Amino acid sequence: MSPEKRVIDDLVILGRAVPERIRNGRITVCTAGYSEELGFVRIYPTRTSSPLQRWNIVEVPVERNPQDTRDESWKIQGSRSEWSRLDIKIKVVGTLPRNRGLNLIANLTEECVGDLNTVKRSLGIIKPTIEECYFCPEDEFDPLIQTTLFGPPQAQTKQQFREIPKIKYRCPNCKNVNPHDQTVLEWGFYEWFRKNPENIEQVWENAQLVSDKHLVYFFVGNTLKYKNAFLIISVIRLPKDTITKSLIPYTKITYIE
């Protein structure tokens, strides 16, 4: 049976994870966001050059990946056979204004990451209380930077960094006895490490995690292999402002017909 296909025309990009190399040599990026029609959406794989910056509103033709049963997961039509021209399939149709961004994020928050497991959802927004920011060694560290036909040499993968950023935090109504302890995958963090290897600690200040002028949210997602294990796809920091709560609940769950 052919996979379900459709065009998503209202996808607000909320985060892109650090690139990774898959078995056929392609350097790929997991991208995720929110669609008013579908709720949370994950698109994988995407090229490092794809026009998928945070707050872009994009139109993209997608299909289901039979190997990924998570409701939120899609791949771009022709992602393997048309990899070299994949970017032209993505059309940027707008940019979400900053004030609407805060309202969107605030209306999508969950009480706890554990609630995502309960409803079997693989993406969500959390407003954290941060307890500790630190680094730990990358278990699969590989210092070799390989140049391939599928990605520029500067697109380093997570495994090419000696240390990775992690954050311990509590949710607004945390169900865990211990704080959540999650790896940060936001590509911007790793770009800072690549360009400033002697000053990686600066990344915490860059993220405005302790700023009293910003509200900080985590866009979290689980892994295909370990669906109870969540990671921080992006740290979303927004200037403090008035939040308007929607009278109609925002769509959070994607259903497969």
- Could you write out the DSSP letters of every residue in 18-41? PPEE-TTS-EEEEEEEEETTTEEE
Phi, psi of 226, deg, nearest 5: -125, 90
Give the pLDDT of residue 152: 45
- 55 and 112 within one domain: no
- 11 and 119 within one domain: no
Per cent of the chain over pLDDT 70 is 91
Give the pLDDT of residue 168: 97
How sure is the predictor about 253, in pLDDT bands with cuts at 50, 70 and 90? low
Flag the least confident range among 127-141, 153-167, 196-210.
Answer: 153-167
CA distance 89 to 189: 27
- 152 and 76 within one domain: no
- 175 and 91 within one domain: no
Domain that holds residue 209: 103-239
How sure is the predictor about 211, in pLDDT bands with cuts at 50, 70 and 90? confident
- 152 and 32 within one domain: no
Give the pLDDT of residue 144: 67
What is the pTM assigned to this prediction? Answer: 0.91
> Using an 8 Å Cβ cutoff, are 11 and 62 in contact?
no
Q: Tokens for 9?
A: 């025309």
Residue 83 has pLDDT above 90, yes or no: yes
Q: What is the mean pLDDT of residues 152-168?
A: 83
- 119 and 84 within one domain: no
Tell me the per-residue pLDDT of 220-241, one tens digit each, with 9 for 90 and over.
999 988 888 999 999 999 988 8
Cβ-based neighbour number of residue 196 at 10 Å? 13
Residue 3 has pLDDT above 80, yes or no: no
